[in-house]
Amino acid sequence: MKKVKLIGVLLGVLLCASPCFSWTTRVENYVNHTVQLGDTIEKIAQVYGTSAVKILSINKIANTAKLSEGQKLLIPVCSYSEKLIL
C-alpha cells in the first residue's frame, strides 16, 4: 500500500513541476489503394510504409498471384497523435 501512495505522490509532483506533460499515441488508419498494372504486395507495402503480411491479412488474400489490375485494397497506415496536458 505504501508503494502505491509513493508512486501517486511522485507522479503528482512530476505533473505539477512540469509546465506540461505529453505522450504520443499510435493510431492505425486505413487508405484505399487501387491495384495498378505491375503492382505487387511488397511494392504497395513499401510505398505506404507497412508490411505485406498486414495488407494480405486485412484484405483476406491468401495468394498474392491473384492480384488483378483495378482491385481495391485496404492499406493500414500509421499516424502518431501527441496529447498535451497543461
- Domains, the chain, in order of start with CATH, read 20-85 (3.10.350.10)
What confidence score (pLDDT) does residue 66 get? 80
Band (2; pLDDT cuts 50, 70, 90): low
Cα–Cα distance measured from residue 36 to residue 52, given in angstroms and rounded to the nearest whole number: 16
Euclidean distance between CA atoms 80 and 24, whole angstroms: 6
The three cell numbers locating residue 73: 485494397
29: which residues sit within 8 A by CB, 6+ positions away?
Answer: 76, 77, 78, 79
pLDDT in tens, 11-70: 554 444 444 445 555 556 899 999 999 999 999 999 999 999 999 999 999 887 788 999
DSSP lists the bridge partners of residue 1 as none
Do the Cβ atoms of 21 and 85 come closer than 8 Å? yes
Amino acid (1-letter code) at residue 84: L
The verdict on pTM exceeding 0.75 is no
